[in-house]
Structure 1
Amino acid sequence: MYRYDEFDAAFVRARTGQFANQVERRLKGEISEEQFRPLRLMNGLYLQLHAYMLRIAVPYGTLRSQQMRKLAHVARTHDRGYGHFTTRQNIQFNWPRLKDVPVILSELASVEMHAIQTSGNCIRNVTTDQFAGAAHDEIIDPRPVGEIIRQWSSLHPEFSYLPRKFKIALNGAPHDRAAIRFHDIGLQATTNGDGDIGWEVWVGGGLGRTPMVAKLINSFVPHEHLLAYLESIVRVYNRYGRRDNKFKARIKILVHEEGLETIKGQVEAEFAEMRGGQLTLPQEELDRISAYFAPPAFSALPDTPVDIAREDILDPVYARWLRHNLNRHVQPGYTSLTISLKPVGGSPGDATAEQMEAVADLAERYSFDELRVTHEQNLVLPHVAIRDLRAVYDGLVAVKLAEGNAGLITDIICCPGMDFCSLATARSIPIAQAISQKFAAPERQKDIGDLKIKISGCINACGHHHVGHIGVLGVEKKGEELYQITLGGDATENASVGKILGPGFDADGVPGAIETLVETYLARRENAQENFIAAYRRLGEAPFKEALYGNG
């Protein structure tokens, strides 16, 4: 997994020392908040509604137990005892004191972590499939390429001041678990006619006030040319992206206004000059990085399936967790398990210091010292022996992390909203809590099945509401919070942007509106195997809109 080399260690030490001096000058009043702003953003520090917020990078969502314990220490010592895991596979601390931030960064550096490029107009943290390197359906583990992209993009002198922030995601399996079509660049592992593995390159996706599905710009780029092709895209964006209007500065707007063929022509021209140059990736370098991600020393275990039917009789709560929170592993006798950070009535994505330490202990003992952060605000133990599942479950029960709801209606993505964020126009956490309480009954969740609800507290869409099967967007209207509801979003390979159904609802009306939509689905689905998004695509919006608003 991710590890520092000499370059990483040197630049993180230098940046930490530099920022400590900048913080000292700010505390003494030698520089204003306006002057301090670009300096703090370069180090992942935001000024939110009530306090500063520090965002820590977790490259492609992969952590060691030692790193998770350090995050727990930061939460307990320098914050209010918890951290918030984000849709960028990062973690945020919402209450650090400014004078403590250099100390936090120094402590993080001791376990090979930092906050560089978690904010600002640069290439942000590279994300990927949370089951990478473990999933049974994987074409290739995308993390070695993710690490190469991290090294290429970190402090890249040409791309430190782009027109706007720039996000890259990779997916190594046919089923998209990384939402690549809603990124500035999305990379999908694929094979060509000769069986060689390479990458589809998608460009111009994104959410925010102008949601767009990315377009396929190249159907096959081999490993050795991928960096050159990515650099060609970012150069074109850096040259032609709008800098006069931040709302039109993302590459999705450039692709939309200029047209894919025009942008592709410009990219190919750049690529023609760069191909075969210094950005060509030698196979030996790919092999060297890939060795960091070699599979653990798995035991030879029988391929015995989990007997959920038996557990349904012995312990239905445990059976529910087994049914919903496991993902099939490539290695016989093992599984990947999702640790839900979505307890009923809780704040989605939050974990206490004690919970982080417990997860670190479980990862060290049962998952080869490895864990993952997902873009859906959960955690994953990627390599757990099936024989150890009960022990892991009992450990999670002890710290209230054994919710068996992964992928269900209460597994809600939610941004911090107006409880924390200075950009938000409405609260989102209380809406998520009220919806989860409305659908708290386990049997009801099971009957509803796969249904993704995503909530944002403003048009910036940090809660990914555009791609929720049901999306909720909080806005301000005449001084009051109003919530628009969208249907039909999908972040997978069947990517789609949800459509607004009609007039919004006040906060108290949202849970009831969601219940009406769910009951309409249950009444109209063909059978129990037809999930919500499939039923919506078959039926269209009409029956849902009629149920919600009537014929008028």
Structure 2
Amino acid sequence: MYQYTDFDKQFVKLRATQFRDQLERWQRGELSDEQLLPLRLQNGWYIQRYAPMARIAVPYGEISSTQLRTLARIAREYDKPSPELLAHAQATQDELQAAQPGLTLAAPPLRYGYGHFTTRTNVQFNWIPITRAADVMDLLASVSMHGIQTSGNDIRNITCEAYEGIAQDQIVDTRPFAEITRQWSSLHPEFSFLPRKFKIAYNGAVEDRAATGWYDIGVQARRADDGAVGFTVKVGGGMGRTPVIGSVVREFLPWDQLLNYIEAVVRVYNSYGRRDNKWKARIKILVKSEGQKFIDAVEAEYKAIVEQDGAPHTITQAELDRVTANFVVPELKPANLPSKVNTDGQLYQRWLQQNVRGHRLPQLRAVSLSFKRVGFAPGDADADTMDALARLAEQFSAGEARLTHEQNLLLPWVHASDLPALYDAARALGLAQPNIGLLTDMIACPGGDFCSLANARSLPIAAAITERYQDLDEVFDLGPIDLHMSGCINSCGHHHSGHIGILGVDKDGKEWYQVTLGGADGTDLSGPAIGGKVVGPSFSAAEVPGVIEAVLTTYRELRKSGEFFIDTLRRVGHDPFKAAANGARHQGGRAAHAVEEATT
């Protein structure tokens, strides 16, 4: 893992001190709410439906056991609503639940003392009072963590795919480049107030597990025929109201020119991106409208940076070596802990199949712990669980863990001989569900349970589907399926890229849901990145589980031997699935009406 230098540590601590001063001036009335807004956003503090939400950066997903314990402390000591606030929030949720006839399974309760793992390797807390925000920032800074640029119209937390440095199909370990980009972009004076938020993702493997096509800038590692390292650069991807796949603007960019080229892209965006309409302010709109003109403008700006400015951000070999030295293989020792697991048992074998992946070091494995559990929101971990994760990381993974795009946690340095003992420990924590990559390993944003932007709640729907598909034989028979769910068009749950996507929408002041089919994130299984297609009119909350079941029943009826869901869908087209979904909508509507009649 990257080790912060004295400069890095001082930088983070001074930022925390500055934020404390800003908060104190706001509390004294010297700063208005409007003046504080961009300041708190650039430090990761939102005001959500009931309370502030803190978003903590975990750059490229890597997190230490010490940092996990600090997050556990924050969850335990700071993530606490007042009794009055919690009662008000729960009453509001109960009203929303009661307004959804036919949805018999309630959402997970509004717990506190939790961290939430997001799709962009951040950790969010939903109940920290703004008056304690500065204390939290100080605590984070003590372990080289922060919320800098996890919000606001700036360059956000830099992400990578979770298997960087350990993947068997690795081309280049891009973590050093992601770290260099993080350092360059943090509080960049020219790019601190962009037209809109800006996201960058790196992928260093043959398979695009970072979903680079969906990012403002997606960077894919390449090697030329002579072995030279470079990058394919995509620009203009994004979800939201207008889902767009990024366009390739450079097929092969030499590695040392990475920052100069990114600067050219962001400068063009900063100069020409719209600021009069936030719905049209993302770079994807500029790229889509201007096409080749945009690429030409970037190339002209890049040429000026190199020839006129002297290429000031060229990455030197010495700097790359300095940063890369932090990403060496850690000291690895097997835990040699005893285990009671039956290694021939079906559950354990399924866990090996779904949750354990090969490693570029043959004696090691990469192990995913599943945070998709009955009774819990996807990606949620309470204080005790995060403390336990810290112990697992120390016992089995050289003190390191990684947050994943799928809202799970990966242990990257596990000895193959330790797998039975790790399985025992994970099972005791409820984190050994063998469902990675399967239907119940769904992505979901917090939705209307917490977010003030959401049109509908995600968590009751996620809970209903999770509860419905607890038969592992059935889930394994269905095979790999990406189910992604968002509570609104902002797409924090990445519904566009799901094989099955669910989007919360507002309809006459009530919660409804659109279902999309055929999306892809760009991985080998899914194929090239593409947005899903809506299958019909929106569905009520009570209808959604039945719609999903009808879609999957149709898949079972139409699939060929060995064919996955996404393959069947592409072969036969959307029409049979659309008909099944709409048929289930009518059946669900009648059931919901019957429930409503029976209760009034």
Taking structure 2 as the reference length, the TM-score comes to 0.88
Is 1:145 paired with 2:173?
no
What per-residue deviation string (whole Å, max 9, x for no partner) do you get for residues 271-326 of structure 1?
1122352211111211111111012245799xxxxxx9x84xx4322222222101
Is 1:474 paired with 2:504?
yes
Give, in whole Å, the separation in 1 of the partners of 2:470 and 2:355: 17
Give, in whole Å, the separation in 2 of the partners of 1:380 and 1:32: 42
What value does the CA root-mean-square deviation take over the aligned residues? 1.7
> Higher mean Cα deviation, 318-327 or 518-527?
318-327
Cα distance change of structure 1 residues 273 and 122 upon mapping to structure 2, 3 Å threshold: same
User: Quick one: which amino acid aligns to residue 393 of structure 2?
Assistant: A
Q: How does 1:1-80 map to 2 (within 5 A)?
A: 1-79=1-79, 80=112
Cα distance change of structure 1 residues 300 and 357 upon mapping to structure 2, 3 Å threshold: closer
> Higher mean Cα deviation, 193-202 or 54-63?
193-202
Contact 1:200 1:216 in 2 (8 A): yes
Q: Aligned to 1:335, which of 356, 365, 380? A: 365
Shift of 1:30: 4.2
Shift of 1:262: 1.0
What per-residue deviation string (whole Å, max 9, x for no partner) do you get for residues 218-267 of structure 1?
010111111111111011111111111111111100000111x2111111
Q: How does 1:420-435 map to 2 (within 5 A)?
A: 420-435=450-465
Residue in structure 2 matched with residue 104 of structure 1 by the alignment: 136
What per-residue deviation string (whole Å, max 9, x for no partner) do you get for residues 365-409 of structure 1?
211111100111111001101110111111112222111111110
Q: How does 1:175-254 map to 2 (within 5 A)?
A: 175-254=207-286
Contact 2:173 2:204 in 1 (8 A): yes
Q: How does 1:444-459 map to 2 (within 5 A)?
A: 444-459=474-489
Contact 1:2 1:59 in 2 (8 A): no
Residue in structure 2 matched with residue 363 of structure 1 by the alignment: 393
Residue in structure 2 matched with residue 305 of structure 1 by the alignment: none
Give, in whole Å, the separation in 1 of the partners of 2:332 and 2:63: 19
Give, in whole Å, the separation in 1 of the partners of 2:30 and 2:255: 49
User: Quick one: which amino acid aligns to residue 515 of structure 1?
Assistant: E
Contact 1:344 1:410 in 2 (8 A): no
What per-residue deviation string (whole Å, max 9, x for no partner) do you get for residues 152-173 of structure 1?
1111111001100000000011
Residue in structure 2 matched with residue 521 of structure 1 by the alignment: 555
Q: Aligned to 2:540, which of 499, 503, 506? A: 506
> Higher mean Cα deviation, 529-538 or 405-414?
529-538
Cα distance change of structure 1 residues 299 and 13 upon mapping to structure 2, 3 Å threshold: closer
Is 1:273 paired with 2:307?
no
Give, in whole Å, the separation in 2 of the partners of 1:16 and 1:300: 38
Q: Aligned to 1:323, which of 343, 353, 362? A: 353
Q: Aligned to 2:318, which of 260, 284, 288? A: 284
Contact 2:547 2:580 in 1 (8 A): no
Contact 1:181 1:202 in 2 (8 A): yes
Secondary structure at 1:544's aligned position in 2?
helix
Give, in whole Å, the separation in 1 of the partners of 2:281 and 2:564: 37
Secondary structure at 1:508's aligned position in 2?
coil
Q: Aligned to 1:262, which of 293, 304, 325? A: 293
Q: How does 1:123-134 map to 2 (within 5 A)?
A: 123-134=155-166
Secondary structure at 2:230's aligned position in 1?
strand
Shift of 1:363: 0.8
Secondary structure at 2:405's aligned position in 1?
coil
Give, in whole Å, the separation in 1 of the partners of 2:257 and 2:34: 41
Give, in whole Å, the separation in 2 of the partners of 1:524 and 1:39: 54
Residue in structure 1 matched with residue 582 of structure 2 by the alignment: 549
Contact 1:89 1:375 in 2 (8 A): yes
Contact 1:345 1:434 in 2 (8 A): no
Give, in whole Å, the separation in 2 of the partners of 1:157 and 1:28: 28
Contact 2:162 2:410 in 1 (8 A): yes
Residue in structure 2 matched with residue 353 of structure 1 by the alignment: 383
Matched residue pairs, number? 541
Residue in structure 1 matched with residue 114 of structure 2 by the alignment: 82
Shift of 1:35: 2.9
Give, in whole Å, the separation in 2 of the partners of 1:68 and 1:143: 20
Give, in whole Å, the separation in 2 of the partners of 1:298 and 1:264: 46
Shift of 1:191: 1.6
User: Quick one: which amino acid aligns to residue 317 of structure 2?
Assistant: Q
Contact 2:13 2:142 in 1 (8 A): no
Give, in whole Å, the separation in 2 of the partners of 1:534 and 1:331: 32
Give, in whole Å, the separation in 1 of the partners of 2:423 and 2:386: 15
- Which blocks of at least 5 consecutive residues in structure 2 are unaligned? 80-111, 336-340, 587-600
Give, in whole Å, the separation in 2 of the partners of 1:283 and 1:31: 45
